[in-house]
Structure 1
């Protein structure tokens, strides 16, 4: 992968962040004023979960990375100040999660993200 031309957003850092053991590297990609909107079975499009700022995003990521699961960056495309990526996760009991994200970038940092996720039930 690598850095997109004209952008400081580094997809290798994204890969290391997603596939790492802690949330620290992934959190470093978010701007202080970032907003993350999550849509899934529990937080449907008309009432998505919205996290505002790095502190709220950090709390969610710390929870996710405290679980017994693996994460993998499947694909990532960066074009100008936008990026999209696919992530697959697997809990130790075999339950799978798939997430698709679209992000807006400012100075190489994520400022807005919409994540749509689904998991085995």
Structure 2
């Protein structure tokens, strides 16, 4: 089940992503006045701004990975609950659901038959 409804908003990485995109990136990029008047007292601030500009792509990559990880774990939890309630004989997985079904298998939460439908658009 792809992230749907409002529960994905509870993903803690969403807030972190917004902070990085809308606060940290513009803050680090707008420190051009530091480059004009860099003396020894604020040189550390210019170095911090440069380090942030270099670290932001890595930080964004980690935050997006956290978003996806949280969404997968939420899908596994939701599907585990549905399996417990409905007790199906087989799980059909396609796209996101196929990935969630593989996670269920790897974590040992589902041991019955699976059918993975792999779509090829080519």
Task: Please say whether Structure 1 and Structure 2 have the same fold, judged by a TM-score greater than 0.5.
Answer: no
Question: Which structure is higher in helix share?
Answer: 2
Question: Which structure is higher in strand share?
Answer: 1
TM range (shorter): under 0.3
TM-score (normalizing by structure 2): 0.23
